[in-house]
Amino acid sequence: MEKIVPKGAWLTVNQRCNLRCKWCYALATGYQKNNEMTFDFAKEITRIIHGLNIKSIIILGGEPTLWEPLCSFNKFCRELKITTTLVTNGLMFGDNNFWEKYILFPNDRIGISLKAGNQKQMFKTTKSRKFRTLEKDVFRAMQHFDNCGVSITYNSFYSDNLLEIVKFAINCGARSVKIDFCSTVFITNQPFSKYMVEPSILVANIVRDYPELERITDGHIVFEMNLPLCIWPEDFIEKLLREKRIITVCQLLKREGIIFGTDGRLQLCNALFDYPIGRYPQDFHDSATLLDFLNTRRVISWYNRITRYPSLKCKNCDRYPICGGGCPLRWAVDNPEKIIKGRVLERR
Amino acid sequence: MNTLLETSQTKMLDDLITMLNLSEEAPSQLPSGLRARNQKGFISLCSYCDCQCDCGYCPCSVCHYE
C-alpha cells in the first residue's frame, strides 16, 4: 500500500450550533459554546496543512458561521493561497451584521445543508422556528455567490417528503442539489441509528422519487453514495453513472483526508470525534512530523482495519474500485452479509 | 505530556472498529471512487467550476467527472 499523503483537510472550528438536528453526528458534543478553536490555534493547524501542500480546507462545526474569527481566518487562508469551503446551515446569512462582514471575506465555496421542507418539520427536526427566514437567508447567499451549493442528508424524517425539501431548495435559488444518506453516529461509544432509513426502504423511496427529483432540479441533482452500489436496481445505477450523478468513496476509504477537531485532535472521520488517532502538539508538531505520524504502524493499522471489505463479495465485485462498499460506520448497525450482493460480470 | 497513543482513548477506536461487522480481508488497492484527477494531482470534481477539493459540496451540477 502506498504511503499516506493527505490531499484534503477538514477543520472543525467549533461545536456551537443554532440548530439541534436529531440525526447530527455532532449530537454527542453537547454543542458547547466554549469548545472552539482560537484564531491562533486555527492558524497553527492551517500552517501544518499548508506545509503538506494541501490547497483546500473544508470548514466544519458545529456551525462555523457562529465562529467569530471566520472572516479573519478566510483572509488568512487566502493569503496562503488555500481555498476554503464553508459547510453551513445558512441561517446566519440573514443576519445583517454577519452578512456585511462576511461578504468582505467570504469562503471560496459554500455548501448549505438544508434540514426541512416545511415549518412544522423544521421545528420537529431542529427545534428551530426560523423556516420562513431560512428561505430568504439561503436565497441571499445563492444570489450573491456563484459557488454556493445545497445538500440534504436523507434521514427518516424525509422518507415521505424528500420532494418537498428539494422543491424548497430550488425555491431558495439552489442551482443544484446534492443528496447524501444519514449514516451511523456514535453516542457514548454506542452506535445510534434511529434516524437512518433501512436500506431497502431507502432504495425504494429514492427510485420512486427520482423521476420527479430529476424534473424539479432539471437534472441538476447528485447523490453522494455512501451506500454500496449493489443494493440499487442495476438499471437505476447504470442511469446515474451514465448521467454522472454519483459521488462515491469517502476520504477515509481513500486515505486522502485529515480531519482536525477543535482541540487539535486528529480524526479518521468527522463523525468519529470521540475516537481520535492523535493530537496536536503531543503526537506531531509540524507538517513533517504529521506525515510521519500518519504513516506510523499504529495509524496504518487503524486504516487497514477500518477499510477492510465489508463483505468478501466486494472482493470479486467489478464495481468495488468505484464503490468502496459504502460508509464503514454503517456496518456497526447493519449486517453487510445481508445487504451486499456484489456484482461479478459474467464472461462471454 | 502523554501522547495520545499512550492513553486509553486509542482503545476506544480499537473497540469501535471491532464493532463494525467488516470482513477479515483488506483490499490490496484502495478504491478510487468516481472522481478524476487533474494534471496537478489534485482531485478534480469538475472542469467547469475548477473545484479541486474532495468535499462533495461542489456547486456545479455537471461535475464529479472530467
CATH of the domain at A256: 3.20.20.70
Residues A137, A94: Cα–Cα separation, whole Å: 4
The range of the structural domain enclosing residue B51 comes to 35-66
The range of the structural domain enclosing residue A137 comes to 8-339
Residues A320, A299: Cα–Cα separation, whole Å: 24
Q: What per-residue confidence (pLDDT) applies to A227?
A: 95
Q: What per-residue confidence (pLDDT) applies to B1?
A: 52
The torsion of the CA quartet A230, A231, A232, A238, rounded to 10 degrees, works out to: 0
**Does residue A238 lie in a domain region?**
yes
**Does residue A345 lie in a domain region?**
no
Contact A176 B61 (CB under 8 A): yes
Mean pLDDT for A262-285 is 94
Mean pLDDT for A21-38 is 85
**Does residue B13 lie in a domain region?**
no
**Does residue B20 lie in a domain region?**
no
**Does residue A2 lie in a domain region?**
no
Candidates A302, A298, A306, A301; CA nearest to A329 is A306
Q: What is the pLDDT of residues A167-177, one digit of tens each?
A: 999 999 887 88
Cell representation of residue A241: 453513472
Give me the residue from B30, B41, B45 closest to A253, CB to CB: B30
Domain tally for chain A?
1
**Which of the four pLDDT bands, split at 50, 70 and 90, describes residue A91?**
very high
**Does residue B63 lie in a domain region?**
yes
**Nearest Cα residue in chain B from A296:** B5
B59 touches chain A (CB under 8 A): yes
Domain tally for chain B?
1
Q: What per-residue confidence (pLDDT) applies to B55?
A: 46
Phi-psi group of B20: left, alpha or beta (phi > 0 → left; psi -120 to 50 → alpha; rest → beta)? beta
**Does residue A59 lie in a domain region?**
yes
**Does residue B66 lie in a domain region?**
yes
Neighbours of A205 (CB within 10 A): 16
Q: What per-residue confidence (pLDDT) applies to B57?
A: 43
Candidates A8, A202, A17; CA nearest to A115 is A17
Q: What per-residue confidence (pLDDT) applies to B64?
A: 37
**Does residue A1 lie in a domain region?**
no
**Which of the four pLDDT bands, split at 50, 70 and 90, describes residue B3?**
low
Alpha-carbon distance B7 to nearest alpha carbon in chain A (angstroms): 10
Mean pLDDT score across all residues of chain A: 92
Q: Collect all residues of chain B within an 8 Å Cβ-Cβ radius of residue A58.
A: 53, 55, 57
Residues A293, A291: Cα–Cα separation, whole Å: 5
Show the CA angle centred on residue B9, arms to residues B6 and B11, nearest 5°: 85
Best of A308, A317, A323 to substitute, by most chain B Cβ atoms within 10 angstroms, is A308
Contact A1 B28 (CB under 8 A): yes
